[in-house]
Amino acid sequence: MALTHDARPARSRRTPVTWVRRGGLSTLVFALPVLVVFGLFSWLPIGRAVVMSLQETNLVTTAWVGLENFRTVLSDPLLGTAVRNTLWFAALALLFGYPVPLVAAVLMSEVRRAKGLYSALAYLPVVVPPVVAVLLWKFFFDARPEGVFNTMLGWVGLGPVPWLQDASWAMPSLVLEATWAAAGGTIIIYLAALTSVPGELYDAAEVDGASVWRKVWHVTMPQLRGVLFITFILQIIGTAQVFLEPYLFTDGGPANATITVLLLVYRYAFGQSLGGDYGAATALSLMLAVVLAVLSVVYFRLTRSWSQT
């Protein structure tokens, strides 16, 4: 029996000369500015943060302390409160803030006229400066019966509500403003994704007599599965890093009911008049970054097959 030989051509040996001839050098030249900028403004600060987390420093004097900063952070009684508040904020934001943009995008996609106007109105909160938005909502959250929201609740026989002054109401109030401020960007993403859904699927569903809800559930949701998975993890990461609302609205109060992990980082770094504990602040920041990185890796591994089916 004759031996058969593999007819596939032998792979050429890769050398620096062949790499240059195939355009490797020109590719590197074009990519070099991006790599330099990314290294200077991303990886270099990360490396500097790792070094600072092992130091006791106020940016004037520096002393190596090893893992002492991590022990200090883990022994802080406020850490548990900050973690619980951050998880509570994330849970409320996912419960209310995650479905709202999807519902709004689906409803807007069904509108036949003035769709551009509705898109602009939905995105308007995103372009409002955050500080201006917080000051505006602080005025709305006036706890007096004459406050804007309390007046509106009074029209239906409810209220007044102590929005930011009560520990049980403060966090839901922050979530309400944060949802309003951030929903516009997600709505635009969903609207863009909805344009890629084949119209034939909706036509076939209408022929079968499907209602709007069935079209959304059996046509829209499966087609947006990959986008939904991405926006879900992005919202988890964003809510875990919440800082602006607790800082500007309540500064962590009342009674530390709205202190979050990033607000605790801020207090470590800038909470002392004579220079903060930047080592502890950096250590807590790295701990949060590691937790979010591990969560992201686990999430993408678990949802890889679901998002592609």
What is the Cα–Cα distance from 103 to 213, expressed in whole angstroms? 11
- Residue pLDDT, tens place only, 163-219: 999 899 999 999 999 999 988 888 888 888 888 877 777 778 777 777 777 777 777
Is residue 307's pLDDT more than 70? no
What is the Cα–Cα distance from 191 to 133, expressed in whole angstroms? 24
Task: Please list the alpha-helical segments (H only) found in the chain.
Answer: 16-21, 24-38, 44-52, 68-74, 77-92, 99-110, 115-127, 130-140, 148-155, 167-194, 199-207, 212-215, 221-223, 225-240, 244-245, 261-270, 278-308
Shared-domain flag, residues 138 and 198: yes
- Residue pLDDT, tens place only, 41-66: 888 888 888 999 898 887 777 888 88
Most confident of 79-88, 157-166, 265-274: 79-88
Please give the average per-residue pLDDT across 220-238, as a whole number.
84
Shared-domain flag, residues 31 and 131: no
Terminal CA-CA length for the chain: 46
Shared-domain flag, residues 266 and 175: yes
Tally Cβ neighbours within 10 Å of residue 203.
10
Last residue of a domain, one of 25, 46, 65: 65
Shared-domain flag, residues 151 and 29: no
Is residue 12's pLDDT more than 60? no
Is residue 309's pLDDT more than 60? no
Shared-domain flag, residues 86 and 224: yes
Peptide linkage before 160 cis (omega within 30 of 0)? yes
Is residue 158's pLDDT more than 80? yes
Residue 8 lies in a domain: no
Residue 148 lies in a domain: yes
What is the Cα–Cα distance from 197 to 207, expressed in whole angstroms? 17
Shared-domain flag, residues 274 and 160: yes
Task: Please state whether the predicted TM-score (pTM) of the whole model is above 0.95.
Answer: no
Report angle CA 261, 264, 269 to the nearest 5 degrees.
130
Domain that holds residue 215: 69-303
Last residue of a domain, one of 34, 65, 96: 65
Tell me the angle at which helices 167-194 and 130-140 cross, rounded to the nearest 10 degrees: 130
* Confidence band, pLDDT 50/70/90 cuts, at residue 81: very high
Q: Do 56 and 62 contact (CB within 8 A), yes or no?
A: yes
Total domains in the chain come to 2
